[in-house]
Structure 1
Amino acid sequence: MLKKIASYFRKDPLPILPGEPHTIPSGDHPISPRQITSGAKKVVEQLVSDGYEAYLVGGCVRDLLLGMQPNDFDVATDATPEEVNRLFRRARIIGRRFQIVHVRMGKEVIEVTTFRASHTAEHKGRDQSRRSSKGLLLRDNIFGSVTEDACRRDFTMNALYYHPQDNSVFDYADGLSDIQQRLIRVIGNAEERYREDPVRMLRAVRFAAKLGFRIEENSARAIGKLGHLLADIPPARLFDEVLKLLMHGHALATFRLLREFGLFKLLFPATEEALSKDPGYYLEFLEQAMTNTDKRIRADKRVTPAFLLGAILWPAVLERRKAFESGNSSPVYALQQAAGEVVHRACQRISIPRRFSMPMREIWELQLRLPRRAGTQASRLMENNRFRAGYDFLLLREDAGEIEPGLGEWWTRFQEANEHTQEEMTSNLDQPKSRRRRRRPRKRSSAPQGDHD
């Protein structure tokens, strides 16, 4: 397929003028209008019929050229967000830093963006861009032409525009050539583009993992130099990027690339510290967690971010728990204190919502409760809303060698057994003894003394 695309690209023998695209007409590329959703077609047709330019753009065009089915379709147009919003009944403008319009067509949501212009250009009556002192774009709503918009795209492979009405592809940045070479290349000066938006470094890694491409040399070198700029990105935005990185079926490849480029330690510093202390088990555990997540996603099984984030932070929790266990603290107290500190630190870098952080901590705490199965405890544990996730987490720990095998198999059999067999399985179990803490004699003091419960 890629060689065929390259041959299409080389068919045009005429020199291309600066700013003009390579045009690949219908029949000279593998995309068919039948592959485009009806919602995306309708949005483009409506914009064009009202006198605007409109194209499918970016990742959807790239994926179609690669023979992949896009997850969604994006449209680029010279209509402003306000004009798009007026044109479609079920549309709304979102974002301040980068305004886009979501147009709903049935169950499908089409993201419509207005052509962006260079930051140095002056456009009367248009919003101007604003930057931080470090060059980070704080606002980016300068509108321009399709040629300017192509130059503002992040990677060459994403500066591809497709017109479904005449089935033509327009390549403004030699993106077809880079696709053929399986390269991810930043458009323009890589350092300058990363300074504008450091998240582009994460996007480069995500695409490399998803597509199996290499990051072009200059684009890769700049990541190693400027990765620290991710600290300037709001934690809430970084959390969204982490989900895109790890919850799309390529978590293992992404994890390895993030560590290769030194970006993982910027997202999860406590986990990276734990890896440096015990790279054997912790690395095995994390890679097994990523592998299992990828398998579930590719099998269309449900995956919760709480489970994967819990796995990523677990090495940090184990390391921090050691500090509390060295005293007279109970295992439960040590785990709770370690979990609280680790989650707090993680949220300073990536803002994990409570709807994920609370289940994550419950999964961790279940690891102390699952060994307690005597009497009716096993049956009561199975009624816990987080039991299944806690059980899967236990199996993950066994597979990675953190704990001796056997407990996971017992729970597997217990879930499959009838009530009579379950009673037999629990009747002969020895209840794990809790570690009793020796009370220290009270010291006379004006302040009350006592142990933590």
Structure 2
Amino acid sequence: MFDPYVNTIYDYVGGIDDIRKAKVRTIHPASFSLVEDCARILRAIRIAARLGFGFSRDTARAIKHLAHSVLPLDKGRHLMEVNYMLAYGSAEPSLRLLWRFGLLELLLPIQAAYFVRDGFKRRDKKTNMLLSLFSNMDKLLAPDRPCHSSLWVAILAFHMALLDKPRDPLVVAVFSLAINNGGDMEEAVSIAKRISKPHAKGIYHELSEPQDLDLKTLKKQVLDLGVFINRALSNMTDSYYVSQAMSSYPKAPYSDLVFVSLHLYLKGVKIFECVNKGKEVGFVGKQGGKIDYELLGMGSLQEVRHVFARVVFDTVYPLDIGCG
């Protein structure tokens, strides 16, 4: 507690020492505190991810042991807590911590199944496309500059679609550019054809070998990617589909948790529909690359599309490969 009149901090629980040690710790014994309120488990993950903190030994042990207790929480609470983790600039470390403590397979079993299949290890940095997507998103966000939840839902659906069917990097480039410019496929193709930066094929198995695609085939594959993304969005709202995600792994806990609401699903569909419908009537392109964070937080379609396209493009065409 801080007394501003005398500029004094009163610390009765050792909080300052915990901050100096970069540790998250419950005030009462963790086994009691996390049973008393299981939502503290999710808050602890969020705080540690945002600050880059670790956990005290008893807190870490209790989180792992009691992870399953978060399932009975209301779906709205699940969505709120996951949004706090993914929308405020610390999505990538949040996913790592959720995986480490056995929470990812409960909250996001589809993504947990991908981590298992991908052979993910804690030290993997650049070979996990899902983490790379969220790492690039994190670079554009902050606790005081969050995004609307539809952005991270769109990224999850986009990645699921690539897992179902890997795509040529050029197809992904055209798709993301078309999203950014309101569905103008001709302009997207024209820009994508001029890309000279090296792509990340060979780093992510979600990208297929580049092919010499003619214009008709290229456009057809871009449209097909949109179909797969819409299917992925639908699957995220299907409790049976979600429950089957980890069914190949006998030791995995059962979870059919679906917290993506109908409203959020429809917001996600709206982001991508311009690709299949063609250039939107009256569309005015965004001037410059500056993000309007107020509009992004409110879920402005143009801002969400713009940031989505930047995240995808920066992941498929990273700056740190092919240099030197």
Q: Compared with structure 1, are the counterparts of its residues 289 and 321 closer, same or farther at alpha carbon in structure 2 (3 Å cutoff)?
A: closer
Matched, 1:340 2:234: yes
How big is the shift at 1:165?
3.7
Where 2:71 maps in the other structure, the secondary structure is helix
Which runs of structure 2 are paired with 1:202-221 in the superposition (5 Å)? Answer: 202-221=42-61
Matched, 1:311 2:219: no
How big is the shift at 1:210?
2.2
Aligned to 2:130: 286
Q: Distance in 1 between matches of 2:256 and 2:105?
A: 13
Where 2:260 maps in the other structure, the secondary structure is coil
Which runs of structure 2 are paired with 1:46-195 in the superposition (5 Å)? Answer: 161-195=1-35
Q: Give yes or no for contact 1:236–1:350 (8 Å, CA) kept in 2.
A: no
Q: Compared with structure 1, are the counterparts of its residues 178 and 315 closer, same or farther at alpha carbon in structure 2 (3 Å cutoff)?
A: same
TM-score (norm 2): 0.58
Aligned to 1:256: 96
Unaligned runs of 5+ in 2: 167-222, 243-254, 286-299, 319-324
Aligned to 2:36: 196
How big is the shift at 1:398?
4.3
Q: Distance in 2 between matches of 1:284 and 1:357?
A: 25
Aligned to 2:271: 363
How big is the shift at 1:175?
2.0
Q: Compared with structure 1, are the counterparts of its residues 361 and 394 closer, same or farther at alpha carbon in structure 2 (3 Å cutoff)?
A: same
Q: Distance in 2 between matches of 1:299 and 1:188?
A: 27
How big is the shift at 1:171?
1.7
How big is the shift at 1:203?
1.5
Q: Distance in 1 between matches of 2:8 and 2:118?
A: 54
Q: Distance in 2 between matches of 1:218 and 1:238?
A: 24
**Aligned mate of 2:76, from 230, 236, 241:** 236
Q: Distance in 1 between matches of 2:87 and 2:228?
A: 30
Q: Compared with structure 1, are the counterparts of its residues 283 and 260 closer, same or farther at alpha carbon in structure 2 (3 Å cutoff)?
A: farther
Higher relative contact order (CA 8 A, sep 6+): 2
Where 1:296 maps in the other structure, the secondary structure is coil
Amino acid in structure 1 at the alignment position of 2:315: A
**Aligned mate of 2:308, from 389, 393, 411:** 393
Q: Give yes or no for contact 2:133–2:315 (8 Å, CA) kept in 1.
A: no
Q: Compared with structure 1, are the counterparts of its residues 196 and 283 closer, same or farther at alpha carbon in structure 2 (3 Å cutoff)?
A: farther
Q: Compared with structure 1, are the counterparts of its residues 315 and 172 closer, same or farther at alpha carbon in structure 2 (3 Å cutoff)?
A: same
How big is the shift at 1:190?
1.2
Aligned residues: 229
Q: Distance in 1 between matches of 2:158 and 2:78?
A: 20
Amino acid in structure 2 at the alignment position of 1:312: L
RMSD over aligned CA atoms reads 3.7
Q: Distance in 1 between matches of 2:16 and 2:310?
A: 45
Unaligned runs of 5+ in 1: 1-160, 323-329, 406-453
Where 2:10 maps in the other structure, the secondary structure is strand
Per-residue displacement from partner, 1:109-146 (whole Å, max 9, x unpaired)? xxxxxxxxxxxxxxxxxxxxxxxxxxxxxxxxxxxxxx
Higher strand proportion (structure 1 or 2): 1
Q: Distance in 2 between matches of 1:250 and 1:380?
A: 36
Per-residue displacement from partner, 1:389-418 (whole Å, max 9, x unpaired)? 4465345444434xx99xxxxxxxxxxxxx
Q: Report the structure number with the largest CA radius of gyration.
A: 1
Per-residue displacement from partner, 1:270-300 (whole Å, max 9, x unpaired)? 1222333346899643223323332322497
Per-residue displacement from partner, 1:317-340 (whole Å, max 9, x unpaired)? 445679xxxxxxx94665544431
Q: Compared with structure 1, are the counterparts of its residues 296 and 241 closer, same or farther at alpha carbon in structure 2 (3 Å cutoff)?
A: same
Q: Compared with structure 1, are the counterparts of its residues 291 and 282 closer, same or farther at alpha carbon in structure 2 (3 Å cutoff)?
A: closer
Amino acid in structure 2 at the alignment position of 1:200: R
Q: Distance in 1 between matches of 2:92 and 2:42?
A: 15
Q: Distance in 2 between matches of 1:307 and 1:227?
A: 26
